[in-house]
Structure 1
Amino acid sequence: MTKEQSNVNKPLASHEIIQIEQKIEWLEKIQVEYKDFIYLYPHSIETPLHRYLLKEVFDISYKWSPGQIGFLYLHTTGGVRTFHTRSDPSDFVQQFRETEHL
């Protein structure tokens, strides 16, 4: 494996995301949070359930405030995908904007 090939498999950046599942148990509604990551690779962005080629991603934006659940928006050719986050995604977004996409 060449150095270039090994760099393709190494993420340029990652950011913790939260998946929120709502359940109804007996007489109450509860929310269960699962933590996972979104990864930025040289040619794609990957989550546990999806893979987006960078040529299909227009931009990434976010709305976040300390101590609250924020939103990370992935603007793609197929629409906007929203992810929940508890931490500032600005480093992830900046790294994305430094890649060659579209």
Structure 2
Amino acid sequence: MKVIAEQPYVKVQQQIEVTGKHYVEEDRTLYLYSDRILSKYHEFPIEIVWDISYRPVGPRGGLLYLHTNRGVNVYTVKESPERFIEAFREIIK
């Protein structure tokens, strides 16, 4: 199946070591298909996704909210997800 849209996001993980607390960013991608949305570890069938919204935080980036019947999943993005959201809304029309 062909990818309709991609949205890069960042997973921030806290690591506590002897030298102190460190934050590690891992670059990941959300993939939009006509029947599902995939993240690194999750698959959301399109019929359970109610909406996708975005809230800018700071001068660059923000939070992408994936609203599903299982709850809300939040993804930290460094660039606007406008194209990804528009593609999703075209699918569910």
- Please indicate the TM-score interval, normalised by the length of the shorter structure: over 0.9
Contact 1:66/1:87 (<8 A) preserved: no
- Between the aligned residues of both structures, percent identity stands at 33
Structure whose CA Rg is larger: 1
C-alpha change, 1:92 and 1:76, in structure 2 (3 Å) is same
The corresponding residue for 2:24 is 32
SS of match in other structure, 1:93: helix
Per-residue deviation, 1:60: 0.1
Equivalent position to 2:81, from 85, 89, 96 = 89
Whichever residue aligns with residue 70 of structure 1, its letter is G
TM-score if structure 1 supplies the norm length? 0.85
TM-score if structure 2 supplies the norm length? 0.92
Contact 1:68/1:86 (<8 A) preserved: yes
* Unaligned segments of structure 1, at least 5 residues: 1-8
* Unaligned segments of structure 2, at least 5 residues: none
Of 58-67 and 9-18, deviating more is 58-67
C-alpha separation between the residues in 1 aligned to 2:87 and 2:61? Answer: 22
Q: Does 1:75 align with 2:72?
A: no
Q: Would you identify which runs of 4 or more consecutive aligned residues in structure 1 move more than 4 Å?
A: none
- Is the strand fraction higher in 1 or 2? 2
Per-residue deviation, 1:67: 4.1
